[in-house]
Amino acid sequence: MLKLGIIGAGRIGQVHATSITNNVKNATVHMIADPFMNEDKIKWINELGIENITTDYKEILENKEIDAVLICSSTDTHSSISIEAARANKHIFCEKPIDHDLGKIQMVLEEVEKAGIKYQVGFNRRFDNNFKAIKDAVTEGKIGTPHIIKVTSRDPEAPGIDYVKVSGGMFLDMTIHDFDMVRHLSGSEVEEVYALGGVLVNSEIGEAGDIDTAIITLKLKNGALGVIDNSREAAYGYDQRAEVFGSLGSVAISNDSGSKAVISTKDGIVSEKPLYFFLERYMQSFGEEVNQFVEAIVNDKDVPVNANDGLQPVLIGLAAKKSLEEKRPVKISEIF
C-alpha cells in the first residue's frame, strides 16, 4: 500500500481524499495538510479514518513514510510546492494548472527530471468513461483520420466574482480542460489559436477583466481543426459534450443524466436534465486518475498525464488570451 499525503483540504482536496479512501486500490491517505484547518475539516477527515492532520505541508514532505503527494492547494502554490516535493523525492500528483507562469512551469519540469520522480497533472476528464469511449474509438481507427474535434463545455452557474479575480481568466481556469481534451482526442499538438469572447452572463465578470462566453478555433499540427464553445452559465445544468469527426465517420458523447429515460406523450417528449455539476459528472474519473497514478508508481511506468501535458494547455490558454486581446489568430510559437 502506497502512503499518500494530500496538501490542501479544500473542495478538490476533499474530493480526492474521499475518492482514495473509497475507490483507490493499493493506496491510503496517511496525512492531510491545510493552513486553514478548522473543526469542520478535522471532523470530516476523522470520519474518513485519516489520523494524521497538520497545518504545515512541509510535515508531509519531511515524512519518510509518505511515498507520494497530491497537491490540491491554491493555484498560486502549485509550482513552488511541486519543486519542494520533487527535491524531497516524493512522487507528485498536481491539480491543474501547474502555474500560469511559463517560467515557473519550466522550473518544475527541470526539477522533476532531475529528481527522476513520477509527476502527473490532474486533467481528470481524460478518465471519464464517456471521453474515454471517444478516445478509444479514435485510437482504434474506427472513425479514420480525425478532421474536426468539437468540445462543448458550459457550467451550470458562474463562479463568484472574488474567484473570477484570482482565477487567471476563463481560458486558464475553465477552458484549460477543453484545450487538454482537444490535444488528447486529436493525438496532436495545437499550432494556432483564434478566440472570440464576450460578457453575456454577468457584467461583473467583465468589470473584473474576464469573459464568460467564448468560441475558440484551433489549428492542429496534424491538419485537424478544433472548435470549443464555452459558457459560464447554462440554465439547464452542466453541459459536457464532444465529437470527433473523421474520414470514416464520427464518434460523439452526450451529457450524463440521472437516468436515460425518455417520456413520450401527446404533450411532448421529455428527458432528464444533465447532472448539475462536476462532482456529480466526474466523480468516477477522480478515482480512476489516482488509480493510474498509483499504478505508474507501483509498476514503474509512465504516468498517463505528464508535466508536458500540464504545460501545453497553459500555452494554448495564453495564446487564446492574446488572440482575444489582439483580435487575430495567434501561433503557439509566439508564446513559447
**pLDDT for the residue 278:** 66
**pLDDT for the residue 275:** 72
DSSP assigned state of 257 = B
Is residue 33 within 8 Å of residue 86, measured between CB atoms?
A: no
**pLDDT for the residue 186:** 96
List phi, psi (to 5°) of 119: -140, 115
Average pLDDT, the chain: 95
pTM for the full predicted model: 0.93
Q: What is the pLDDT of residues 128-166, one digit of tens each?
A: 999 999 999 999 999 999 999 999 999 999 999 999 998
**Which residues are CB-contacts of 133 (< 8 A; sequence separation ≥ 6)?**
251, 253
Strands in 91-95's sheet, in edge-to-edge order, are 52-54, 27-33, 2-7, 68-71, 91-95, 119-122
Q: How much of the chain, in percent, has pLDDT values that exceed 90?
A: 88
Is residue 127 within 8 Å of residue 288, measured between CB atoms?
A: yes
Give the lowest-confidence range in 80-84, 92-96, 281-285: 281-285
**pLDDT for the residue 257:** 78
**pLDDT for the residue 147:** 98
Give the lowest-confidence range in 12-21, 27-36, 266-275, 282-291: 266-275
User: β-pairing, 91-95 with 249-253?
Assistant: unpaired
C-alpha–C-alpha distance, residues 64 and 59, integer Å: 10
Q: What is the DSSP string of 88-147?
A: TT-EEEEESPS-S-HHHHHHHHHHHHHHT--EEEE-GGGGSHHHHHHHHHHHTTTT-SEE
Mean pLDDT in residue range 205-209 = 96
C-alpha–C-alpha distance, residues 146 and 140, integer Å: 12
Q: What is the pLDDT of residues 220-268, one digit of tens each?
A: 999 999 999 999 999 988 999 999 999 999 999 988 877 777 888 899 8
**pLDDT for the residue 100:** 95
**pLDDT for the residue 249:** 97
Q: How much of the chain, in percent, has pLDDT values that exceed 70?
A: 99
**pLDDT for the residue 260:** 74
pLDDT above 70 (res 325): yes
First-to-final CA distance of the chain: 40
Give the lowest-confidence range in 71-75, 190-194, 263-267: 263-267
User: β-pairing, 239-246 with 249-253?
Assistant: antiparallel
**pLDDT for the residue 279:** 64
**pLDDT for the residue 277:** 65
Mean pLDDT in residue range 186-210 = 97
Using alpha carbons, select from 67, 70, 98 the residue that is nearest to residue 13. 70
**pLDDT for the residue 235:** 92
pLDDT above 80 (res 84): yes
* 5, 215, 216 from 37: Cα distances, Å: 15, 40, 40
Using alpha carbons, select from 164, 14, 13 the residue that is nearest to residue 95. 13
**pLDDT for the residue 282:** 81
